[in-house]
């Protein structure tokens, strides 16, 4: 069938698939992210777009992932994955939006304009995966209808983690013409590959003398299925040294439990242990180590129940019960946790690489860089710059910015504070490690990394291998530096674009008087703790709603609370806040003076 005839048929087909909320659609780093009921009509068009993207890239395989990550069960989302396994090229984001906004009667014309120099016999190729949400299978079916309408080949992976789909797309495109639907099995190229590599590496570590136990909160998401495959593999090994995974929150059939009071986002925001379902609170006891992932397994946070009293959360949504003072002893239960977030994972990997490179070669001249956003705790930045003496680059929020900046280094480490990230390697590094022994720690580290995207599962393997090689305990890792107290707030405004910020999102450029007021508040916070330069605060507009995000940190919790609330009030007053104005904070004491 000629392409023009096919496009006219698609135009007729799409008239039956109406988008309910077209004007509000935005496509960002996470793709589309909406209440699931609003994604009807969007899905079929995304399937068509995936085929157009494939056709314009010489029929290379393009991915479609359906997930809303850490969002509640009622939400869902979908995004395109480019042939290299990474996110969609940002230049194509406006193309996606323009097609979603295109009126039915102009569909055929739009498709013709965006399918240049395409032959009628060329077949687009799409890989489709989705998470465990109740709405995901129906949306996947609609995406497939779009692929079918374009006469494309759709390889359906079914229920997979987001990183698995990214890895699969990267892998099969690396095969070139060798790829066929029958040749590639995800269990083999992903689970067996990484599990075997980790097992071999651990067995060859002299510093590791016994098995490693790790508890994992799976957030009742798809990650539990993948981790169960790894758990089964490790359990089948006859070795005195292996990773023993204890999996919790694995009730994927109960759709309403997904991310509810559990998962990486919940633990990061509340500094609270996750709720275990079925109830098993006795499992969260000091001094056990825990990892927690999110609903689609692309975020990883480590934590441990605390031995001392609880402190306020870094977010204003902490339940009142979380600030009760608890004094657990070994074997007792604690609801509050010591957190090892994305900043600490970056620092761990950077420390490892600095040490390994010194042992491998003193003159290899390989560069290491850590990419952070303004949300990174300043203590981690100082550790990287002053202790490890490596480059730190600050970029805007969004994985696409971190990923791009990481490509400028031989070892580009990027993790958002929320636990999403990975490590990228230059061709120089890949050539260098190719000549190393298979059990060399640097080669092992490269082999265990999913470079396509942040992957909670493979990041667990990297963390555990790194700790074992360093012969470090949880406390060794936790003691690398001490986080400054921080807090995040949100202010609703009439229009979010009234606030303009610098490229790295650390300072406001408009309204000018807002940044002046923030600087004065930061100065007062510094004086209250007697440490100039220990406080900072910034505001940035939300990317999806009419609100402004506030971040503040200082040397004490009291100064941090005062600074965050003060900046929230300033934002409300100078940037068109609506609703109730934030309650003024308690005054700070500077020597014998009171700061309001």
pLDDT band at 185 (very low <50, low <70, confident <90, very high): confident
The pLDDT of residue 241 is 86
The pLDDT of residue 310 is 53
- Look up residue 316 and give its two tokens: 């204003």
The half-sphere exposure of 438 on its side-chain side, counting CA atoms within 13 A, is: 9
Report the alpha-carbon distance of residue 461 to residue 455 in Å, rounded.
Answer: 10
CATH architecture of 486-595: 2-Layer Sandwich (3.30)
The pLDDT of residue 457 is 98
Question: Is 540 within any annotated ligand binding site?
Answer: yes
Has residue 320 got a pLDDT over 50? Answer: no
- Identify the residue whose tokens are 């060859």: 204
User: Mean pLDDT across the stretch 508-531?
Assistant: 96
- Identify the residue whose tokens are 């993948």: 226
Residue 375: which of 555, 551, 522, 500 has the closest Cα?
Answer: 551
456-470 helix and 223-235 helix, angle to the nearest 10 degrees: 40
Has residue 322 got a pLDDT over 70? Answer: no
Helix H segments across 257-369? 263-270, 342-360
The pLDDT of residue 545 is 78
The pLDDT of residue 22 is 66
Has residue 478 got a pLDDT over 90? Answer: yes
- What single DSSP character describes residue 333? B
The answer to whether the CB of 196 falls within 8 A of the CB of 461 is no
pLDDT band at 324 (very low <50, low <70, confident <90, very high): very low
Render pLDDT for 217-253 as a digit per residue (tens, 0 to 9): 999 999 999 999 999 999 999 888 899 999 999 999 9
Residue 291: which of 233, 212, 235 has the closest Cα?
Answer: 212
DSSP SS3 for 6: helix
Has residue 328 got a pLDDT over 50? Answer: no
The pLDDT of residue 176 is 79
Has residue 208 got a pLDDT over 80? Answer: no
Question: Is 558 within any annotated ligand binding site?
Answer: no
Question: Is 180 within any annotated ligand binding site?
Answer: no
Render pLDDT for 384-409 as a digit per residue (tens, 0 to 9): 999 999 999 999 998 999 999 999 99
Question: Is 417 within any annotated ligand binding site?
Answer: yes
The pLDDT of residue 317 is 39
Percent share of the chain, pLDDT over 90: 78
Which has the higher per-residue pLDDT, 580 or 115? 580
Domain ranges for the chain, please list them. Answer: 3-179, 189-197+206-339, 343-478, 486-595
pLDDT band at 314 (very low <50, low <70, confident <90, very high): very low
DSSP SS3 for 439: coil
DSSP SS3 for 114: coil
**Which contacts (CB < 8 Å, 24+ apart) does range 135-138 have?**
135/36, 135/37, 135/39, 135/76, 136/66, 136/67, 136/76
Render pLDDT for 332-363 as a digit per residue (tens, 0 to 9): 455 889 999 999 999 999 999 999 998 886 66
Helix H segments across 63-161? 93-101, 107-113, 136-149
**What would you measure as the largest C-alpha separation in the chain, in angstroms?**
84
**Taking CA 150 as the corner, what is the angle to CA 149 and CA 156, rounded to the nearest 5 degrees?**
80
Has residue 92 got a pLDDT over 70? Answer: yes
Question: Is 298 within any annotated ligand binding site?
Answer: yes
Has residue 200 got a pLDDT over 60? Answer: yes
pLDDT band at 183 (very low <50, low <70, confident <90, very high): low
CATH topology (fold) of 343-478: Alpha-D-Glucose-1,6-Bisphosphate; Chain A, domain 3 (3.40.120)
What is the phi-psi region of residue 15: left when phi exceeds 0, alpha when psi lies from -120 to 50, beta otherwise? alpha
Q: Which of 19-33, 328-342, 543-557 has the highest mean pLDDT?
A: 543-557
User: Mean pLDDT across the stretch 7-35?
Assistant: 87
Which entry of 15, 16, 69, 211 is annotated as an active-site residue? 69
The answer to whether the CB of 325 falls within 8 A of the CB of 310 is yes
The pLDDT of residue 327 is 36
Which has the higher per-residue pLDDT, 331 or 581? 581
The pLDDT of residue 106 is 95
Residue 553: which of 422, 389, 419, 382 has the closest Cα?
Answer: 382
- Look up residue 508 and give its two tokens: 């406001």
CATH for 3-179 (3.40.50.720, 3.40.640.10, 3.90.1660.10, 3.40.120.10) = 3.40.120.10
CATH topology (fold) of 189-197+206-339: Alpha-D-Glucose-1,6-Bisphosphate; Chain A, domain 3 (3.40.120)
The pLDDT of residue 182 is 55
Q: Per-residue b/e over 419-445, b at no fewer than 16 CB within 10 Å? A: bbbbbbbbeebeebbeeeeeebbbbbb
User: Mean pLDDT across the stretch 549-566?
Assistant: 97
Candidate from 51-65, 244-258, 279-293 with smallest mean pLDDT: 279-293
Residue 312: which of 486, 545, 138, 57 has the closest Cα?
Answer: 486
The pLDDT of residue 286 is 79
At 123, phi and psi to the nearest 5?
-110, 120
Mean pLDDT of the chain: 90
Render pLDDT for 440-468 as a digit per residue (tens, 0 to 9): 999 999 999 999 999 999 999 999 999 99
DSSP SS3 for 34: strand
Question: Is 289 within any annotated ligand binding site?
Answer: no
Report the alpha-carbon distance of residue 449 to residue 459 in Å, rounded.
Answer: 7
Candidate from 194-208, 296-310, 482-496 with smallest mean pLDDT: 296-310
The pLDDT of residue 177 is 66
The pLDDT of residue 240 is 82
The pLDDT of residue 513 is 98
- What single DSSP character describes residue 455? -
DSSP SS3 for 541: strand
The answer to whether the CB of 396 falls within 8 A of the CB of 414 is no
Enter the pTM of the model.
Answer: 0.91
**Among this protein's residues, is 69 annotated catalytic?**
yes
The pLDDT of residue 515 is 98
Same fold flag, 189-197+206-339 and 343-478: yes
Question: Is 549 within any annotated ligand binding site?
Answer: yes
The pLDDT of residue 23 is 64
pLDDT band at 319 (very low <50, low <70, confident <90, very high): very low
Report the alpha-carbon distance of residue 324 to residue 310 in Å, rounded.
Answer: 6
């Amino acid at each position: 069938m000629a392409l023009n005839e096919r496009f006219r048929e698609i135009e007729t087909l799409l008239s039956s698939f109406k988008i309910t909320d077209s004007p509000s659609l935005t496509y960002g780093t996470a793709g589309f992210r909406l209440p699931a009921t609003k994604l009807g009509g969007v899905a079929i068009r995304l399937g068509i777009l995936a085929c157009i993207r494939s056709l314009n890239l010489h029929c290379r395989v393009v991915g479609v992932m359906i997930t809303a990550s850490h969002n509640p069960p009622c939400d869902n989302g979908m995004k395109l994955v480019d042939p290299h396994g990474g996110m969609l090229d940002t230049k194509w984001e406006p193309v996606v939006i323009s097609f979603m906004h295109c009126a039915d009667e102009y569909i055929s014309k739009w498709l013709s304009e965006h399918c240049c120099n395409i032959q009628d016999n060329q077949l687009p190729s799409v890989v489709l995966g989705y998470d465990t949400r109740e709405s995901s299978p129906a949306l996947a079916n609609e995406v497939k209808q779009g692929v079918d309408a374009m006469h494309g080949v759709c390889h359906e992976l079914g229920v997979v983690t987001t990183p698995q789909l990214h890895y699969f797309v990267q892998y099969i495109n690396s095969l070139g013409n060798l790829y066929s639907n029958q040749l590639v099995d995800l269990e083999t190229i992903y689970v067996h590959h990484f599990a075997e590599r980790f097992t071999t590496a651990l067995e060859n570590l002299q510093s590791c003398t016994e098995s490693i136990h790790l508890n994992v909160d799976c957030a009742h998401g798809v990650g539990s299925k993948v981790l169960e495959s790894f758990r089964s593999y490790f359990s089948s090994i006859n070795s005195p040294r292996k990773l023993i995974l204890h999996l919790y929150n694995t009730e994927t059939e109960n759709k309403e439990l997904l991310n509810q009071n559990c998962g990486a986002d919940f633990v990061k925001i509340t500094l609270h242990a996750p709720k275990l379902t079925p109830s098993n609170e006795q499992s969260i006891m000091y001094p056990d180590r825990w990892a927690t992932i999110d609903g689609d397994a692309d975020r990883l946070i480590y934590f441990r129940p605390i031995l001392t009293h609880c402190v306020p959360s870094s977010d204003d949504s902490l339940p009142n019960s979380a600030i009760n003072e608890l004094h657990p002893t070994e074997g007792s239960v604690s609801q509050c946790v010591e957190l090892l977030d994305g900043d600490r994972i970056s620092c761990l990997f950077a420390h490892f690489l600095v040490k390994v490179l010194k042992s491998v070669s003193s003159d290899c001249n390989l560069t290491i860089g850590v990419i952070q956003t303004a949300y990174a705790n300043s203590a981690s930045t100082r550790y990287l710059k002053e202790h490890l003496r490596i480059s730190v680059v600050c970029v805007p929020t969004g994985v696409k910015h971190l990923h791009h900046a990481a490509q400028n280094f031989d070892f580009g480490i990027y993790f958002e504070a929320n636990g999403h990230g990975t490590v990228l390697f230059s061709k120089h590094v890949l050539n260098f490690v190719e000549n190393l022994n298979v059990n060399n720690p640097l080669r092992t580290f490269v082999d265990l990394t999913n470079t396509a995207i942040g992957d909670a599962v493979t990041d667990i393997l990297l963390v555990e291998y790194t700790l074992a090689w360093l012969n470090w305990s949880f406390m060794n890792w936790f003691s690398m530096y001490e986080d400054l107290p921080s807090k995040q707030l949100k202010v609703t405004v009439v229009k979010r674009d009234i606030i303009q910020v610098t490229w790295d999102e650390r300072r406001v450029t408009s309204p000018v008087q807002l940044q002046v007021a923030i600087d004065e508040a930061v100065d007062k916070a510094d004086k209250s703790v007697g440490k100039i330069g220990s406080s900072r605060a910034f505001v940035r507009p939300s990317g999806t709603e009419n609100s402004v995000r506030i971040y503040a940190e200082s040397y004490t919790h009291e100064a941090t609370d005062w600074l965050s609330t003060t900046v929230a009030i300033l934002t409300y007053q100078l940037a068109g806040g609506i609703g109730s104005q934030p309650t003024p904070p308690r005054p700070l004491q500077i020597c014998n003076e009171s700061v309001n």
